[in-house]
């Protein structure tokens, strides 16, 4: 799965799944750019990448702001030369009872999870097409395929992200730009640490994670590295005939393939 000579951009790459993808792609030889609203986290991961002998930069970027997205891509092109791989990973898990979700919450979720990916892809695509090589990976979740009650707005915006993936894959295929989505299930991440602190702080985190993992057919929560392994495969020439797919990385939890 060698990615030598490639430049990968991983939004939200300073922690959790994003960090796992960054380190996996760097290990496979890619240089890395990390736009993240939590720049301190991104800077820490940059140090890890540099220690591996790869080039890496970070920049604070709110991907919901089109001007910041444009400035970020301009800087990446200036300092890294190009964008070969774009991983749209920035996101949160916002959900609640439908009647309690405000317009502001809906709009914020679409900006973060759909329009950010649209803007970044639009900026990255011209160079990918010119070089006739590119990879766009959209990180979604299994709710995109099987939206649960109480899963809005996340399940709705993720479903839109899956449709976006399919549309873009069809348009980009003639240019050898491959577009796929990865649908997460329950992976150990900072979001679960936050959920633990909010709902079960009197319980050891390891026990909390073990209990949560019982709902998964494999009997455990996933590790970000397991997710990153598939992302690296899809970004490589080993996956040169895979495009337009939304692949579950959820231990068998989703009822939809």
The model's pTM is 0.95
Mean of the per-residue pLDDT values for the chain? 96
User: What CATH architecture applies to the domain 7-185+222-244?
Assistant: 3-Layer(aba) Sandwich (3.40)
Domain assignments of the chain as residue spans, ordered by start: 7-185+222-244
Round to whole Å and give the CA distance between 164 and 152: 18
DSSP 203: S
247: helix, strand or coil: strand
Provide the β-strand partners of residue 246. Answer: 181
The pLDDT tens digits for 83-117 are 999 999 999 888 899 999 999 999 999 999 999 99
Res. 254 pLDDT band, cuts 50 70 90: very high
What would the two tokens of residue 124 be? 């990255």
pLDDT at 212: 92
Give CA–CA dist 33/14, Å, rounded: 10
201 falls in which pLDDT band (50, 70, 90)? very high
Residue 148 has pLDDT above 90, yes or no: yes
Residue 133: pLDDT over 90: yes
Backbone φ, ψ for residue 133 (5° rounding): -160, 130
- List, in order, residues 6 or more apart from 136 with CB less than 8 Å away: 85, 86, 88, 121, 124, 128, 168, 172, 177, 178, 179, 180
Partners of residue 138 on adjacent β-strands: 88, 181
Place of tokens 């496979």: 28
């Amino acid at each position: 799965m060698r990615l030598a000579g490639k430049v990968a951009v991983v939004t939200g790459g300073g922690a959790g799944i994003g960090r796992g993808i960054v380190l996996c792609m760097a290990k496979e030889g890619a240089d890395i750019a990390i736009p993240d609203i939590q720049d301190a986290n991104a800077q820490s991961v940059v140090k890890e990448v540099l220690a591996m002998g790869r080039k890496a930069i970070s920049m604070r970027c709110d991907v919901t702001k089109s001007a910041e997205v444009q400035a970020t891509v301009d800087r990446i092109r200036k300092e890294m030369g190009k964008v070969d791989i774009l991983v749209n990973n920035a996101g949160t898990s916002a959900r609640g009872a439908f009647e309690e979700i405000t317009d502001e919450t809906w709009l914020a979720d679409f900006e973060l999870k759909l329009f950010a990916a649209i803007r970044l892809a639009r900026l990255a695509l011209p160079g990918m097409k010119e070089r006739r090589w590119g990879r766009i990976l959209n990180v979604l979740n299994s709710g995109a395929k099987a939206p649960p009650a109480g899963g809005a707005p996340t399940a709705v915006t993720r479903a839109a992200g899956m449709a976006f993936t399919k549309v873009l894959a069809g348009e980009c295929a003639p240019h050898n730009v491959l577009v796929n989505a990865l649908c997460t299930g329950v992976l150990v991440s900072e979001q679960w640490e936050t959920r633990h602190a909010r709902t079960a702080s009197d319980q050891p985190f390891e026990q909390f994670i073990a209990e949560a993992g019982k709902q998964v057919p494999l009997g455990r929560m996933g590790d970000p590295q397991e997710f990153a392994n598939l992302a690296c495969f899809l970004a490589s020439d080993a996956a040169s005939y895979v495009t337009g797919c939304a692949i579950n990385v959820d231990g068998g939890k989703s009822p939809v393939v």
